[in-house]
Amino acid sequence: MKVGVFDSGVGGLTVARSLQQSGCFSELLYYGDTARVPYGSKDSNTVTRYALEAVEFFNGADVDCLVVACNTVSVTALEQMQKFSNKPVYGVLEPGVMALQQLQGIDTSARVLVIATRSTINSGAYQQQIQALGYSQVDAMPTPLFVPIVEEELYDGPILQETFKHYFSKLEKPDVVLLGCTHFPLIAESISDYFNGAKTIHSGEAMLSWLKQHLDLSAQFESTPLHIIATENVDAVKRTATRWGLKL
């Protein structure tokens, strides 16, 4: 199975990495809209328009399905993308919520913290889906500074720790942190440590798990070639991919 992966920039590479490392896919085609990143501060009409341009690209590409590796797009434009795509389109929202339900030792009495960009949190999409499943203690916190901090490769250290205090010091300690932005897996360990070992949910692992369950996949490929396309500065995206452990 060949999979298309769409993100506004480089964040979705963490999802592509999970798919690549799984050995379940024959080929990956990553498309990053780096010329117009970030989407998180744009309004929903604009995000939808950009997402439909990506659909048009993937409609002409040799892939079997399309993974939206961007939380902003998944909560904003998924239905429109599904309507105009000529192949199945999967967003990260549903897999993330499913991963929460399947976490060992976690039931609906657990305290769940959702962190994401401002637009994803303001949409309320994660919070609503999680509460609808019966979880009663759900906090949500926009943590926009994590994106540039990750892009500066400061995966731990004093700036990140001070930023944790800034965003988290008034929250009760969560049992689970749902990482609602594809940049955040790179600081998942630091977040978990800050909260004394809270579990974290990673969009890439959640998506892989969801695809395995829904598409009956198994690990069968020794390697999965990854092709990267970007609307701007594709070399920078490739460098980030290499630094983040993807194989080009």
Binding positions for substrate: 7-8, 39-40, 71-72, 182-183
Distance separating alpha carbons of residues 24 and 2, to the nearest angstrom: 10
Cβ within 8 Å of residue 120, ≥6 positions away: 40, 71, 72, 75, 126, 142, 180, 181
For its own copies, give the closer residue by CB, 7 or 205: 7
Instruction: Choose, from 5, 63, 70, 188, the residue flagged as catalytic.
Output: 70
Instruction: Choose, from 54, 149, 181, 246, the residue flagged as catalytic.
Output: 181
What values do phi and psi take at 206, rounded to 5? -65, -45
Q: Please choose, out of 17-25, 40-48, 95-103, 203-211, the segment that lies near its own copies by the rule CB under 8 A.
A: 40-48
In sequence order, what are the beta bridge partners of 91? 68
100 neighbors 166 (Cβ within 8 angstroms): no
Q: Please choose, out of 22-30, 67-75, 84-92, 149-157, the segment that lies near its own copies by the rule CB under 8 A.
A: 149-157
Q: How far is the CB of 49 from its own copies (least distance, A)?
A: 10
Amino acid at 205: E
Among 166, 214, 239, 243, binds its own copies (CB under 8 A): 166
Distance separating alpha carbons of residues 43 and 74, to the nearest angstrom: 14
Pick from 175, 226, 204: nearest CA to 71: 204
For its own copies, give the closer residue by CB, 65 or 145: 145
Q: How far is the CB of 166 from its own copies (least distance, A)?
A: 6
Among 12, 22, 24, 42, binds its own copies (CB under 8 A): 42
Among 79, 88, 159, 245, binds its own copies (CB under 8 A): 159
Amino acid at 134: G
Q: How far is the CB of 145 from its own copies (least distance, A)?
A: 6
Q: How far is the CB of 78 from its own copies (least distance, A)?
A: 21
Instruction: Give DSSP secondary structure letters for 166-211.
Output: HHHTTSPPPSEEEE-STTGGGGHHHHHHHTTS-EEE-HHHHHHHHH
Distance separating alpha carbons of residues 60 and 235, to the nearest angstrom: 23
For its own copies, give the closer residue by CB, 42 or 111: 42
122 makes contact with its own copies (CB under 8 A): no
Give yes or no: 181 in active site: yes
Give yes or no: 24 in active site: no
> Running DSSP on this structure, what letter comes out for residue 136?
-
Catalytic amino acids? 70, 181
Binding interface with its own copies (CB under 8 A): 34-37, 41-43, 46, 144-145, 147-149, 151-152, 154, 157-159, 161-163, 165-166, 232-233
